[in-house]
Amino acid sequence: MTKTSGEDPRKTDVKVSLIGGHRLTGETLHERTLTASLIGGADVDLTDVDIPDGAELRITKLSLIGGVSLKVRADVRVEVHGIRLGGVKDDGPSEPGGPTVRVDAWGLLGGVTVRRS
């Protein structure tokens, strides 16, 4: 997550495309990110991000067709919300506490897959 002392800590990054997805990494994200496309998913790699315990990183994905592929450390809890035709694959921790990534996925087709390293 990028954050400098002079920035608003609740800044939202916005990524928009008509066709094609977005590849997002930790150094390019703030605490809130919105990615929108007609056709295309979001490939998000957060393995190099140090999310403090109790903090929440939020990613919102809007698309007609396209899911979310999320890669996080093993100790990060992932919450998935939204409406889409497609499932959620996640074998990670579900207990409250610790760092949390919230994914709001809104779309017609596309699931959310969480990989852990």
List, for residues 10-55, the tens digit of each pLDDT value: 678 889 999 988 998 877 777 899 999 999 999 999 998 888 888 8
Phi, psi of 41, rounded to the nearest 5 degrees: -100, -170
Residue 64's nearest CA partner among 30, 27, 18 is 18
pLDDT given at position 10: 66
pLDDT given at position 63: 92
pLDDT given at position 9: 58
Highest mean pLDDT among 2-11, 48-57, 91-100: 48-57
Residue 39's nearest CA partner among 110, 94, 97 is 110
Residues 6+ apart with CB under 8 A from 107: 61, 62, 63, 64, 65, 66, 67, 82, 83, 84
